[in-house]
Amino acid sequence: MTLALACLAAFVAAVIQRITGLGFVLVLLGPIVLFYGPLEGITIGVLLALVASLSAVPLVWREVEWTRAWWLIWPGLVAAPFAALLVRVLHEAAQLLLIAAMAYFALVAGWIPALSAALRGRSGAVVAGSAAGFMHVASGLSGPPLAAYAVGDRWEQRRFAASVQVIFLVFSTVSVVLRGLPASPVADVWLLIAATAAGILIGTLLTRFVPPRIARIAMLSIAWAGATVVLVRGILALLS
């Protein structure tokens, strides 16, 4: 039952990712951490994020702005090892609280105009890229700094949505290298990968029929619930 629910969560997250361009781990976060714990859950999450990006990049390849993407990627590569070190030294309760904090930041970052205003030009790309790389390894949640930079630097939405898939692909690859592969049974992991790939495929078909606004509402509803579940679990682990 746990595996079936995890596969369903991965499928839904991938569908939303394909329609909106963002939100895969944000949607997957609550269920995957609840089912597998913070360390294994996020390790599975970043692996599935890699699969989602690999599936999405060929569909948006021609729209990618490579120079802009690179200025976000390299600072993230510099910051990533520090996140991997932090994850290894934190206890489970601290990991859960860190993940919950990053999830809530991801949900409210778009409501902070000063954040986007500060992230402009090359200096803004370095800051946003560093934060995104760190957050991706620690929690899989690299979208908010990237989205804030896109708004602040007036990056055209279609080009950003394509370019961010390449950034997610690189950060997910680095995260898998730094965190290692999941300890769960190989057959279970492959089923989760298949569910993710299927979600990207179905999401591609649904882009013609489902408005991005509806997908974003679903994403936010699931994400708020998931972040709250992780926070409560973290508090209980801290008190136990």
Residues 73, 130 contacting (CB under 8 angstroms) = no
- Is the pTM here over 0.85, yes or no? yes
Q: Can you give the pLDDT at residue 205?
A: 86
Averaged over 196-214, what is the pLDDT? 84
Query: Residue 12 — pLDDT band, cuts 50, 70, 90?
Result: very high
Q: Can you give the pLDDT at residue 76?
A: 94
CB-hemisphere CA count at 13 Å for 55?
25
Q: For residue 17, count CB atoms less than 10 angstroms from its CB and return exposed for 0-12, middle for 13-18, buried for 19 or more.
A: buried
| pLDDT tens-digit readout, 28-46 | 888 898 899 888 999 999 9
Tell me the domain boundaries of the chain: 2-239
| pLDDT tens-digit readout, 128-147 | 899 999 989 988 888 888 88
Residues 140, 132 contacting (CB under 8 angstroms) = no
**Integer angstrom CA distances of residue 198 from 11, 51, 69, 127:** 7, 11, 27, 34
pLDDT above 70 covers a percentage of the chain that reads: 98
Averaged over 49-55, what is the pLDDT? 87
